[in-house]
Structure 1
Amino acid sequence: MEQVIGRMQKTRVRYGMLALVFVNVVINYLDRTNLAVAASNLSKDLELSSVSMGYIFSAFGWSYAVLQIPGGLVADRFAPRILYAFCLITWSFVTLLQGFASGFASLFGLRLATGAFEAPSYPINNRIVTSWFPDNERAAATAMYVSGQFIGLAFLTPILVTVQYYTGWKGLFLVTGLVGIVWGIVWYLSYRDPLDHSGVNQAELDYIEEGGGLFRRQKKVGTQASVWTLANLKLVFSGRTLWGVYFAQFAVNATLWFFLTWFPTYLVKYRGLDFIKSGYLASIPFLAACAGVLLSGFVSDNLVKKGWSVSAARKTPIIIGLILSVALIGANYTNDTALVIFFMSFSFFGAGMALISWVFVSLLAPKHLIGLTGGVFNFMGNLASIIVPIVIGYLAKDGDFKPALVFVGTLGFLGACSYTFLVGKIERRG
């Protein structure tokens, strides 16, 4: 029910801005995972081994992870409207160029460039949600935009498979690149910050600010260079709580990056499924992950509203999710395709539950360092995008994928331990 401040009913512009971020995330993950769809045919045409593909899968992560801290600093300094438009258009153009890759070196280099231009995206997402949403709506808002990566991939994976079937892997990169370029223009024309949006009324601004929204502070510090200091870097790298959250995010992303890179190849090459059929089956775990992240976000916010402590309300769904993510190991013990998809879906459902972890950036970060803390958080988590694809490539090089699934499942369990034993009281550091 809408609250009334005075005689003015507050507008709901924040949900429209969240919808734009949601589409950004869909495009973001479309350009991360098109390589996974193309991998089987691309590796044959370019004569790339499983080890070579592991390195190519990881190339995005090398630049993406390394540039998370600079990306967070940039997100604190430049307006989301301009910075996101720049990132969308540039990474989409590089995606388009991947359709002209002729070998390992060119493809590896273009994937590096894609990761570099996508690096500020999640720190920007977090800044936008922190600006537009009060504390008691932030987990649900985070869950909504994070779900974009799963909803988009669940429904688009079969489409991507079909596009590749008719146009080849080169055409797949051309199509996805063009889509992103067009959306970058739409974003620039549509998005505004709270104080700049003509459609938001004072009642909604008051509701956001009184609930902990930081748009006035971010408006002020966004034009300053104060975040670019060694002291600030030390601040966001200190404390057991932050390190516990950082390590756990690595564990969450380990499962995520298995699905974003090796999963389609696992179904086709190691489970012997037809390429078109695998495209449809591969969409099921993404739907499960979407259900997990939405359930976790809304449950977490409801627990806060019912009086649970912030620590318990935010950590409990994440710990449960990380434990559930271990289920993918069960696929090692069956030859039934339906059971394989069940174990994979159950695991990704759990990983989805854990992906509301971005809410901890809003809760723990110093108010003037939301973007920087988000950059460090995403840097630590996305080390998994480098390490996991490469390790899987080596573990599966002899044709046995079972050790790779044990590796990913074990990381999920360790992530649950990190939230249970390392992450203590949840409180802002400055």
Structure 2
Amino acid sequence: MEQVIGKDKKTRVRYSMLALVFINVVINYLDRSNISVAGTALSKDMDLSSEQLGFIFSAFGWTYALLQIPGGLIADRFGPRILYAFCLITWSLATVCQGFVRGFASLFSLRLATGAFEAPSYPINNRIVTSWFPEHERASSIALYVSGQFIGLAFLTPVLTYIQSQFGWQGLFVCTGIVGLIWGVIWYLFYRDPLDHPKVNDAELAYIEEGGGLFRSRQAGTNKASVWSWVNVKQVFSSRTLWGVYIGQFAVNSMLWFFLTWFPTYLVKYRGLDFIKSGYLASVPFLAACAGLLLSGFVSDRLVKQGKSVTMARKAPIIIGLLLSISIVGANYTNDTALIIAFMALAFFGSGMALISWVFVSILSPKHLIGLTGGVFNFMGNLASIVVPIVIGYLAKDGDFKPALVFVGALGLIGACSYIFLVGKIERVVTHDPQEGVFAGE
């Protein structure tokens, strides 16, 4: 219960730290998705085929996915303040440089660089939330920061289309990159871990720790030796439950990466919509996804507070959301623009519901391997960022986008089955920490 008098009233610094993470996510996704807004124009200027455009769309994911495990290890070893500032500044520089490319090879290389420098970002996000929030606030806090990707894109996609219409796709990359450079400095100036923040009081620290926050084990130097171990890597790949959420995350991210890459091109090239109009219409599914995400996060936490089982409270919204995402196939059976957007919005609403899946990293992974488990989880999920754009490029090469939507919808069904049949009772995975000589999952 909230204490209300005197020095015992707990501060709410954790929410201001969450707000900083939220903005990080907005910028993170601006620099992932600006390529989708620029896609039609730059493919025309560079004379790219649909297959080549698919590879450009996927380039970010090659390095981003492959570096998730190293990114998780780095997130466990280095503090979020310095590491996130470094990532923000370097990926933003790569984004600015994309405004000066002249061909496929240079653009592909810079998208690879953007993915590489963004790789530690979500493991860092998860580490921050695990440090700053008790377990019963975890799903809603994750939902709030992840919503940054949808709120940012929903409201900024029309802005991005306007910038491109005025300054070309080159100006679009330069503008979004400069925003990230400025924010990287602001992040460094304002973010602190719980034990280092000058405004957090003992009451808030006690509230976080009593609720399962792990900030004391996050002090510099803790468990470095145990994290950097191939034994630990093997442990996070050997759990059936974790494999269930890995497969589920691939399915969730498949829908996300369709919207982050091919969706504007689908509206303009395959549905014949005006470019500026498409920017406004493209924002509707992102708002729907944000609504699904926030609804899922707060309902899930409420169910936990009401005493419902963690298994039901955490799994049910994700399964329902993945099943709803299959509705994307409905767009194949109408030529009405309003219905197309409605089917897309419903599918992305469902996908948004399933994006609270990051909560499983906090509640399933061994306590000393949260960053590593988050890295593996994000690696498996972001294989979709490689596979989906390329497969869609090939499926749509003859001018028919219908097989691509069936492909994305089928992956949603696979994800739902994974949570239903592979993910069992939700409890922390028990592994042996060789440094402490205890079973770290207990």
Any residues of structure 2 matched to 1:18-167 within 5 Å, and which? 18-167=18-167
Alignment-derived partner of residue 280 in structure 2: 280
Any residues of structure 2 matched to 1:241-320 within 5 Å, and which? 241-320=241-320
Listed one character per residue, the Cα deviations across residues 101-137 of structure 1 (whole Å, up to 9, x for unaligned) are 1111000000000000000000000000000000000
**Equivalent-residue separation in structure 2 for 1:308 and 1:291 (angstroms):** 23
Letter in 2 for 1:314: R
Q: Percent identity?
A: 77
Any residues of structure 2 matched to 1:134-213 within 5 Å, and which? 134-213=134-213
**Equivalent-residue separation in structure 2 for 1:428 and 1:215 (angstroms):** 18
Q: Which moved more, 1:205-214 or 1:2-11?
A: 2-11
**Equivalent-residue separation in structure 1 for 2:139 and 2:274 (angstroms):** 39
In 2, are the aligned partners of 1:328 and 1:344 still within 8 Å (CA)? Answer: yes
**Equivalent-residue separation in structure 1 for 2:188 and 2:5 (angstroms):** 31
CA RMSD of aligned residues (A): 1.1
| CA deviation after TM superposition for structure 1 residue 428, in Å | 1.0
Listed one character per residue, the Cα deviations across residues 248-268 of structure 1 (whole Å, up to 9, x for unaligned) are 000000000000000000000
**Equivalent-residue separation in structure 2 for 1:158 and 1:220 (angstroms):** 42
**Equivalent-residue separation in structure 2 for 1:66 and 1:223 (angstroms):** 24
Alignment-derived partner of residue 334 in structure 1: 334
In 2, are the aligned partners of 1:78 and 1:223 still within 8 Å (CA)? Answer: no
Listed one character per residue, the Cα deviations across residues 314-355 of structure 1 (whole Å, up to 9, x for unaligned) are 000000000000111000000000000000000000000000
In 1, are the aligned partners of 2:78 and 2:220 still within 8 Å (CA)? Answer: no
In 1, are the aligned partners of 2:326 and 2:412 still within 8 Å (CA)? Answer: yes
| CA deviation after TM superposition for structure 1 residue 223, in Å | 6.9
| CA deviation after TM superposition for structure 1 residue 225, in Å | 3.2
**Equivalent-residue separation in structure 1 for 2:106 and 2:133 (angstroms):** 42
| TM-score for both structures, normalised by structure 1 | 0.99
In the alignment, structure 1 residue 404 sits paired with structure 2 residue 383 = no
Where do 4+ consecutive residues of structure 1 move more than 2 Å? Answer: 1-7, 220-226
**Equivalent-residue separation in structure 2 for 1:279 and 1:224 (angstroms):** 46
In 2, are the aligned partners of 1:77 and 1:225 still within 8 Å (CA)? Answer: no
Alignment-derived partner of residue 236 in structure 2: 236
In 2, are the aligned partners of 1:78 and 1:222 still within 8 Å (CA)? Answer: no
| CA deviation after TM superposition for structure 1 residue 185, in Å | 0.3
In 1, are the aligned partners of 2:223 and 2:368 still within 8 Å (CA)? Answer: no
Listed one character per residue, the Cα deviations across residues 42-70 of structure 1 (whole Å, up to 9, x for unaligned) are 00001101000000100000000000000
In 2, are the aligned partners of 1:79 and 1:222 still within 8 Å (CA)? Answer: no
**Equivalent-residue separation in structure 2 for 1:201 and 1:141 (angstroms):** 20
**Equivalent-residue separation in structure 1 for 2:220 and 2:112 (angstroms):** 33
Please state whether the residue corresponding to 1:398 is helix, strand or coil: coil
Letter in 2 for 1:290: C
Listed one character per residue, the Cα deviations across residues 154-185 of structure 1 (whole Å, up to 9, x for unaligned) are 00000000000000000000000000000000
Give the paired residue count: 430
**Equivalent-residue separation in structure 1 for 2:264 and 2:287 (angstroms):** 15
**Equivalent-residue separation in structure 2 for 1:81 and 1:256 (angstroms):** 28
In 2, are the aligned partners of 1:255 and 1:412 still within 8 Å (CA)? Answer: yes
Any residues of structure 2 matched to 1:214-225 within 5 Å, and which? 214-219=214-219, 221-222=221-222, 224-225=224-225
Please state whether the residue corresponding to 1:226 is helix, strand or coil: helix
Letter in 1 for 2:143: A
In the alignment, structure 1 residue 414 sits paired with structure 2 residue 429 = no
**Equivalent-residue separation in structure 2 for 1:110 and 1:86 (angstroms):** 17
**Equivalent-residue separation in structure 1 for 2:421 and 2:27 (angstroms):** 36
| CA deviation after TM superposition for structure 1 residue 224, in Å | 2.3
Letter in 1 for 2:331: A
Q: Unaligned stretches of 5+ in structure 1? A: none
| TM-score for both structures, normalised by structure 2 | 0.96
Q: Unaligned stretches of 5+ in structure 2? A: 430-440
Alignment-derived partner of residue 354 in structure 1: 354
| CA deviation after TM superposition for structure 1 residue 7, in Å | 5.5
Letter in 2 for 1:179: V
In 1, are the aligned partners of 2:139 and 2:359 still within 8 Å (CA)? Answer: yes
